[in-house]
Structure 1
Amino acid sequence: MHQRSLLIAALLAGVRAQQAGTMEEEVHPPLTWQECAEGGECTEKSASVVIDANWRWLHSLEGSDNCYTGNTWDEELCPDNKACAAGCALEGADYAETYGITAEADALTLQFVKGENVGSRTYLMAEDDESYQIFNLKNKEFTFDVDVSKLPCGLNGALYFVSMDADGGQSKYEGNKAGAKYGTGYCDSQCPRDLKFINGEANVEGWEPSESDKNAGVGGHGSCCPEMDIWEANSISSAYTPHPCDSVEQTMCEGDKCGGTYSETRYAGTCDPDGCDFNAFRQGNESFYGPGNTIDTKSPMTVVTQFITADGTDTGKLSEIKRFWVQNDKVVANAESNVEGVKGNSITSEFCTAQKTAFGDDDIFAQHGGLEGMGDALESMVLIMSIWDDHNSSMMWLDSTYPEDADASKPGVARGTCEPHVGDPEKVEGASGDATVTFSKIKFGPIGSTFKAPA
């Protein structure tokens, strides 16, 4: 033990951030996407995806001892945040065999459970294969195909953007040899505290293993940044949701001051954990999305999201987030809200204010900058594709009645047709491990360039 301590001290003197392992070569699954120009001419981009650092094997820098096993840290290798980062390495990944992540041409498929692994979170890499692809979404549209036919209640096949650093924070934190290549630097509007590394240091201090999740826990720090949920969905319900924060860049927070899902006080932090969501079912349009509905989730679909600015420029103020759908060669406008006092079929400042009033929700969205604040963050965003279940609320906020003790007839409470708790993790992990989501045909460009809108 004394020798081990001396080794950690020696390592700590030279480095202070997470390291990259050498036991398995890190090879990113290739994935193509298309960048489009005015008029609809599109160019194929050769890119790849990388799995988030939180899912990787973390072991001693000079050996193969686990720094983290199950949901606990090794006390000798990780006595504190800095020593742990100095003495532990993130290892390369076997994407298909360990995580159930496969890519073919322009399609990425994520399997829910693969062996002992549950869920995954992946980022789109730039063509250099060393940094994340950065998107400026303002005055642009983002289009993709998705197949959610194999996603039951309780699961979420998500495609979204956050304002992470393009290099995973590597240039900000001296000694960080892992960076974007190993999936570091995550943040979102929940200011997640389940991350093993934040700002180049481990999150071991104050770490409390989860009582329900054998792989997770909550540490003393969180990582905050704006989040644009283009797509959170399964075969029953879908939602798109902007989540602004006070800062447009990634910031570290402390304990329960982080707010969000992982803290005692949800609204204590600098981000809006609720956002302003558009879920057709929640807006009273119960026959729009789902099996056999207007948008039939038994078949793949094309999802188009437009980020409209007030002056029609890439630097103007965000004024509307508009949704179109394409299925069976038919363009379908987004569902209209049927909630009294909440009109429209897109996200605008007026829609969000009216929705918060109608649902009796605190307008945390406006307190953190609202739609304009979200627009400020959209100029530099990283694309994420993931599949996950929910140990906090069983995904009832997406596809069931939530809060579960509320009157389902009250506006905003019913989010989908799933029975409460049918999506409990122990149920879906046992019964639906083979569930998958497939994202494909990603296109990005000026408004009107990625699909043909109705005249």
Structure 2
Amino acid sequence: MATLVGILVSLFALEVALEIGTQTSESHPSLSWELNGQRQTGSIVIDSNWRWLHDSGTTNCYDGNEWSSDLCPDPEKCSQNCYLEGADYSGTYGISSSGNSLQLGFVTKGSYSTNIGSRVYLLKDENTYATFKLKNKEFTFTADVSNLPCGLNGALYFVAMPADGGKSKYPLAKPGAKYGMGYCDAQCPHDMKFINGEANILDWKPSSNDENAGAGRYGTCCTEMDIWEANSQATAYTVHACSKNARCEGTECGDDDGRYNGICDKDGCDFNSWRWGNKTFFGPNLIVDSSKPVTVVTQFIGDPLTEIRRIYVQGGKVIQNSFTNISGVASVDSITDAFCNENKVATGDTNDFKAKGGMSGFSKALDTEVVLVLSLWDDHTANMLWLDSTYPTDSSALGASRGPCAITSGEPKDVESASANASVKFSDIKFGAIDSTY
């Protein structure tokens, strides 16, 4: 009887699963890359959050930053009534690819809407994300952030999201990886419209300053490795460990005043050359010249993981990472437990990195394969000041200065108006043994 009940529940879940629209065919832009020196034929897919969500006709299930009360009175009926549509990558989202190169545009005025930024994932095949085991490996790519001003972030990073977009584990997530489902990260985002295939409509609150976004009751948490967060003025790479990967609610998400009580280290441990004492290393016409493309090499040393190293290659020259030059922190050029613990003490920041297990905890989290994410975004919460300016803005504490941008910069409405034509380019993605990809 228990087995029969289980079958009936599964059949019901399949019956009410989020459906796939037929008004725009889903054709993934191709993107080749290298694995152990061998060319891989891959492609990219845009996240489900960016897609048109409608009923069996053309009525929106989600319009602006609000759900339709008629089509989505509860999560189950929302899944039953709604269709996730295919994407016009260039026309709607400003995304283009050629060979091993991908460009993400910032503001794209389409036939029916204006799109802001994007988030895409590398696919192994039409229904599966490419996944990576990082320990004792090296990841390399070339970035061009010359067209990204203060307030924008051209990001490339890994998250421990399911390779099939959750389709096999959660029957409601029927569109799966082919339609960009399953996202999670260490910030435990509440703005995901679907988590585990279920509409995140409970307690949904439209954003007060983002006409396209809102937040629901649930967040979705998982380990994150920020390989590259950058604009033309600043860059950082950051480790974020989570004690588990899961849908969360309330305290488990680290919401509100419980930031350090959640399952993920939201602050992470970062290496930002400007923040750690070298203001002449990265930027236009500096040692690593952000006005030109730069090849970025990240090495994951050891299993268990003990160190994450950074190397740059530009103009035919290998450039070692900058060394720290701040009081209380030994002169180092990579992320280790010692570096993270020392900089947390020096800055007075809460050491949630250590609380979540430090490098050992992160190493354990990397036993799970991770998915490659590429994105371009502006920041409706903190104007990207945590990356490229002084944050908190009223602080003179060590480590508060993170880049040269003004504390008044990065306001999304200003960036979207003044820098609509901004873009980021990623190319030459390579993965393999240490010192083999550059």
Query: RMSD of the TM alignment (CA)?
Result: 1.3
TM-score using structure 2 length:
0.94
For 2:270, which of 251, 274, 277 is the aligned residue?
277
Q: Classify 1:264/1:52 alpha carbon distance in 2 versus 1 (closer, same or farther; 3 Å).
A: farther
1:425 is the counterpart of 2:393: no
- 2:127 aligned partner: 130
d(CA) in 2 for partners of 1:65 and 1:54? Answer: 17
Counterpart Cα distance in 2 of 1:17 and 1:399: 42
- Structure 2 residue 304 is matched with structure 1 residue 308: no
Q: How many residues align?
A: 422
Which position in structure 2 is the counterpart of 1:74?
Answer: 68
Equivalent residues of 1:54, 1:196 under 8 A apart: yes
Instruction: Summarize the alignment of residues 206-217 of structure 1 with structure 2, pairs less than 5 Å apart.
Output: 206-217=203-214
User: How far does residue 21 in structure 1 lie from its aligned partner after superposition?
Assistant: 1.2
Where structure 2 has 5 or more consecutive residues not aligned to the other structure, the ranges are: 1-10
Q: Which runs of 4+ in 1 moved over 3 A?
A: 11-14
* Corresponding residue number in structure 2 for 1:189: 186
TM-score of the pair, normalised by structure 1: 0.91
Matched, 1:291 2:280: no
CA separation of 1:372/1:17 partners in 2, compared to 1, >3 Å: closer, same or farther?
farther
Letter in 2 for 1:386: S
Equivalent of 1:399 in 385, 388, 391: 388
Other-structure match for 2:371: 382
CA shift, 1:70, in A, is 0.4
Equivalent position to 2:118, from 117, 120, 124 = 120
User: Residue 342 of structure 1: which of 302, 323, 329 is its match?
Assistant: 329
Q: Deviations over 1:371-404 (max 9, x none)?
A: 1211222240000000000011000000000001
Identify the match of residue 46 of structure 2 among 21, 46, 51: 51
Distance (whole Å) between structure 2 residues aligned to residue 45 and residue 449 of structure 1: 16
Distance in 1 between residues matched to 2:432 and 2:377, nearest whole Å: 29
2:398 equivalent in structure 1: 411
Matched to 1:121, the amino acid is R
2: CA distance, partners of 1:175 / 1:361: 40
Partner deviation per Cα, 1:62-121 (whole Å, 9 max, x = no partner)? 222100000000001001112111211110000000000000000000001101100100
- Inter-CA distance 83–12: structure 2 relative to 1 (3 Å threshold): farther
Structure 1: how far apart are the matches of 2:380 and 2:412?
Answer: 6
Asked if residue 223 in structure 1 is aligned to residue 224 in structure 2, the reply is no
Q: CA deviation at 1:19?
A: 2.0
Determine which of 84, 93, 98 is the counterpart of 2:87.
93
Residue pairs, 1:138-177, within 5 angstroms? 138-177=135-174
Contact 1:12 1:82 in 2 (8 A): no
Does structure 1 conserve the Cα–Cα contact (< 8 Å) formed by 2:173 and 2:181? Answer: no
CA distance in 2, matches of 1:45, 1:108: 15
Write the letter of the residue equivalent to 1:159: L
TM-fit CA distance, 1:14: 5.4
Residue identity matched to 1:325: Y
Is the Cα–Cα contact under 8 Å of residues 285 and 338 in structure 1 kept in the other structure?
yes
Per-residue CA shift, 1:225-251, capped at 9, x if unaligned? Answer: 00000000000000000100001xx31
Match for residue 26 of structure 2?
26
Give yes or no for contact 1:142–1:443 (8 Å, CA) kept in 2.
Answer: yes
Rounded Cα–Cα distance in structure 2 between residues aligned with 1:264 and 1:177 = 35
Give 1:265's aligned residue. 258
CA contact (8 A) 2:13 2:171 kept: no
CA contact (8 A) 2:172 2:198 kept: no
Do structure 1's residue 357 and structure 2's residue 357 form an aligned pair?
no
Tell me the secondary structure at the aligned position of residue 267 of structure 1.
helix
Aligned to 1:436: 423
Partners of 1:70 and 1:321 in 2: how far apart? 41
Determine which of 84, 97, 108 is the counterpart of 1:103: 97
Could you say what secondary structure the match of 1:76 adopts?
coil
Shift in Å, 1:22:
1.4
**Which residue pairs with 1:3 in the alignment?**
none
For 1:273, the aligned partner's letter is K
- Match for 1:151: what amino acid? L
Residues 1:328 and 2:326 are matched in the alignment: no
Matched residue of 1:17: which SS? coil
Query: What are the superposed Cα offsets for residues 358-383 of structure 1, whole Å, 9 maximum, x if unpaired?
Result: 11001001111211211222240000
Taking structure 1 as reference, are residues 139 and 205 closer, same or farther at Cα in structure 2, changes over 3 Å only?
A: same
1 CA distance for matches of 2:337 and 2:76?
43
The correspondence of residues 198-209 of structure 1 with structure 2, limited to 5 A, is 198-209=195-206
Q: Is the 8 A contact 1:12 1:87 kept in 2?
A: no
For residues 256 and 426 of structure 1, do their structure 2 counterparts lie closer, same or farther at Cα, with a shift above 3 Å needed? farther
Residue identity in the other structure for 1:341: G
**How far is the alpha carbon of 1:449 from its aligned partner?**
1.1
Structure 1: segments with no counterpart, 5+ residues: 1-10, 37-41, 310-315
* CA deviation map 1:109-136 (0-9, x unaligned): 000110110010000000x221000100
CA contact (8 A) 2:165 2:173 kept: no
1:12, distance to aligned residue in structure 2 (A) = 7.1
Shift of 1:264: 4.9
1:219 is matched by which residue type in structure 2? G
Residues 134 and 300 in structure 2, CA contact (< 8 A), matched pair in contact too: yes
Return the alpha-carbon distance in structure 2 between the equivalents of residues 324 and 14 of structure 1: 48
In the TM superposition, residue 265 of structure 1 has moved relative to its aligned partner by 3.2
Q: In the alignment, what sits opposite 2:78?
A: 84
Rounded to whole Å, the distance in 1 between the matches of 2:14 and 2:86 is 23
Deviation at 1:445, TM superposition (A): 0.2
Q: Note closer, same or farther for the CA distance 1:264–1:27 as it changes in structure 2 (3 Å cut).
A: farther
